[in-house]
Structure 1
Amino acid sequence: MTLDKRLGQRFLPYGANYLDWPDMHELRDAISQRVLFRYQTEAESVTSRLERFAAERLGTSHALAVHNCTEALRLALISTRPRLGDLVHIPAVTFVAVAGAVLSSGLIPVLVDVDESLSLDTSLLPSGTQRVIIAHMEGTVASIPDDVPYVIEDAAQALGATFPDGTHAGTYGYAGAFSFHHNKVLTSGEGGLLTTNDPAVWATMRCYHDHGSARVPGQYPTWNQDAYYGENLVTSEEVAAIQLQQFRHLDHVLTGLERHYAILLEEPLVRSDVAVLPRAAGDVKTSVRLRWESRELRDAAVAALTDRGIANWTLNKYLLPDHPVTAGRRSLYADGFPWNLAPDQPLVLSTDGFARTRDLLDRTLCVPLSPELSEHDQIQAAKTLRKMLESV
């Protein structure tokens, strides 16, 4: 692949560049043993090894592997033992899966406006709020609200991010959800991880994710007399094996992103109508975020970068007040469940009807960083990006 090609459209994002067949020791072992179900063998499964490794790496007491991050969010919500129709406060700017996880759990999302960092504005939460999902979008560590018993962190886009005190994003609140989707920091195509520091909560999550069973590895599942129903959210050995291989490269990915971001900051833009949005030290630098003076300039930059083959994206698609899933309140249930349980009150918290947020999104452009490039190539990529942006 030529340097010009590598500086243009990125073929693979982040951890996908570190997928390497000779490095897939766990996957080779699972296939050679012909056991791809984590509870089939009495020996420690690859999935259990992944959970132990991830918990140690993230500094949390317990980790549970599931099919995807949406399931992790649902499982976290259900483990709080809610009542149907209970409210869950979520960011107005996030992927629609967050709202979907709330609704598919029989709960009602309340859209909360965001602050300048595009994270949920915790100052808008009313007294007595019980459940909040905080999204660490674009690797940015969001603020955690005080006095909320069930804070669930959506760290799908922030694996490896840390709070100022060194605590990992996704391990601060009641529970944390991570994603291994193709476009995330690490990938297995799909996949999810759920974390908690409460052993009783973990036990509830573990039972529910396997039909409510009291599972003993190597044996048919059993159910205690007080068992409740559950679902099948158990991940497979081959997916866990790929995730374990990816975790071994997490530090390489994070270091490469940090270096590329620092290099970009050394190449300042010689124009006053665009600014690089600052990132905190603990953020995962998945992209450089640019804030333009107008949407017209932002759109011109999108066109220029796209024409040149340089990967970029905007964030307007994340505005949930405008998304059909939340705005339309449609349901496959004949009675409109769970929207039919929604209280007769506004389900949004915003001081201006999201006008400021729409303006921020309209002027924001993201350009992904490339941890897999050498320092020399990252320098060349920074020069190319600066030249393109200054020509807009």
Structure 2
Amino acid sequence: MRIPLSRPMIGEEEKKAVLEVLESGQLAQGEQVASFEREFAEYIGTKEAVATSSGTAALFVALKALGVQPGDKVVTTPFTFVATASAILHCGGIPVFCDVDRQTCNLDPERLKATLERESGVKGVVVVHLYGTPCALEEILDITRSRGLFLLEDCAQAHGAMYRGRKVGSFGDAGVFSFYPTKNMTTGEGGMVTTNDSELAKRCRMLVNHGSRRRYYHEILGYNFRMTDIAAAIGRVQLRRLEEGNARRRAHASFYFRELSGIEGLELPFIPRDTLPAFHQYTVKVRERRDELLQFLRSWGVGCEVYYPVPLHRQAFLQSYGYGAFPVAESLSREVLSIPVHPGLSPGDLEEVARLVRAFFAK
């Protein structure tokens, strides 16, 4: 694509950091990983951070450490990437879906209350800060705490996003992040669990490293979800540039808000009060002709994508659970479209995207 939807921002610093690791001979989990964990925890504002091999691994490890066992129900959104639900299933848990708020695309607190009143055997709640927009954390925390449920924040798209002056990933019992190449910062593949609970962090570290705290002494059944020093070296450089990249994303979003406001049939992203989004995606809603707009933009070399075309309760591997309808998630899957907002866009790129969107709706 002439103007890609996403582009990992890899520069000379990352290349130098990787080369230093290769020359050191310490390629697996080592001091680079330990340093990355400390720096990431400090950035998010938590006591602990545990690096993993992927964001999905981070979700799974966090859920296991939080005590999800076979048969436990975990409430989450049907409008998210599949890993949010599959991690619950890999623990033996049962995903219970709750519909979302149309404006934010995030879990709706009022619907969450209704879901918890209806369902028994719920162990906890997983919220997703979709597209980099923070959830209604205060309301949701009130709901989970009053019922003795854990709250896990899926921050895979929300690195550096803030809610009431604090970074997401620091509110719940734990937060999880992904460092996939399309994210606001990357390690190639990788993930992180953040928490203020030192015992929870210890359990996560054991699960990541074959159930051991000391080499060859295995206390629990664990896994090999370790991050490499190569990935961590990239992540440390990326973390230092994250705020700058997020500022560019917000500036690009502001441009779109100015240039695309007032177009009939086009709904721009909603920014809740007291939040600072990370704009992992700039996602508009198109009530009619969404797919036509997607094809039109692609025909002009502009990358765009639907996140997500099939809600989780409609996915084939979940059909045996007999989920009902979730009307908001279903309508969003027919309307949402993400357009380029990444830090690598030039002023000319932004102007071209806006011009093409205006031209489409003028037809």
TM-score by length of 2: 0.88
Alignment CA distance shift 1:250-1:181 (3 Å): same
Specify the alignment match of 1:249 in structure 2: 241
1:273 to 265, 268, 273: 265
Task: Show the 5 A alignment for 1:188-199.
Answer: 188-199=187-198
What does 1:61-210 align with in structure 2 at a 5 Å threshold? 61-116=47-102, 117-125=104-112, 126-127=116-117, 129-144=122-137, 145=140, 146-148=142-144, 149-163=149-163, 165-210=164-209
User: CA 1:140–1:385 in 2, change beyond 3 Å: closer, same or farther?
Assistant: farther
The superposition leaves residues 134-179 of structure 1 with CA deviations (integer Å, 9 ceiling, x where unpaired) of 111111111232242311111111111111x211112210111100
Q: 2:337 matched to which residue of 1?
A: 365
The alpha-carbon deviation at position 54 of structure 1 amounts to: 0.5
Comparing 282-291 with 69-78, greater Cα deviation is found at: 282-291
**Mapped partners of 1:191, 1:84: distance in 2:** 26
Which runs of structure 2 are paired with 1:259-298 in the superposition (5 Å)?
259-269=251-261, 271-280=263-272, 281-294=275-288, 297-298=289-290
Q: Secondary structure at the match of 2:211?
A: coil
- Once residues 30 and 140 of structure 1 are traced to their aligned partners in structure 2, the CA distance between those partners, rounded to angstroms, is 35
CA distance in 2, matches of 1:154, 1:263: 28
Q: 1:231 to 1:268 in 2, by over 3 A?
A: closer
Distance 1:153 1:200, change over 3 A: same
Q: C-alpha separation between the residues in 2 aligned to 1:388 and 1:313?
A: 19
User: Cα 1:31–1:122, aligned 2, differ >3 Å: closer, same or farther?
Assistant: same
Matched-pair contact (CA < 8 Å) for 1:269–1:390: no
Amino acid of the structure 2 residue aligned with 1:122: P
- Report the TM-score, using the length of structure 1 for normalisation: 0.82
Partner of residue 339, structure 1: none
Secondary structure class of the residue paired with 1:272: coil
Q: Residue 101 of structure 1: CA displacement?
A: 0.5
Contact 1:267–1:382 (8 Å) recurs in 2: no
Alignment root-mean-square deviation, CA: 2.2
Partner of 1:21: 12
Structure 1 or 2: larger helix share? Answer: 2
> Do the aligned partners of 1:65 and 1:192 also contact (CA within 8 Å) in 2?
yes
Secondary structure of 2:217's partner?
coil
**Native 8 Å contact 1:93 1:319 kept in 2:** yes
The answer on whether the counterparts of 2:68 and 2:91 sit within 8 Å (CA) in structure 1 is no
Unpaired runs of 5+ in structure 2?
A: none
CA distance in 2, matches of 1:301, 1:379: 17
Which secondary structure does the structure 2 equivalent of 1:249 belong to? helix
Mapped partners of 2:69, 2:204: distance in 1: 17
- Alpha-carbon distance in structure 2 between the residues aligned to 1:22 and 1:242: 8
Partner of 2:41: 55
- Could you say which residue in structure 2 is the equivalent of 1:332? none
Deviations 1:329-361 (A, max 9, x none): 6xxxxxxxxxxxxxxxx656xxxx223432233
- Structure 1: runs of 5 or more not aligned: 40-44, 330-345
Q: Quick one: distance in 1 between partners of 2:222 and 2:287?
A: 50
Q: Which residue of 2 aligns with 1:305?
A: 297
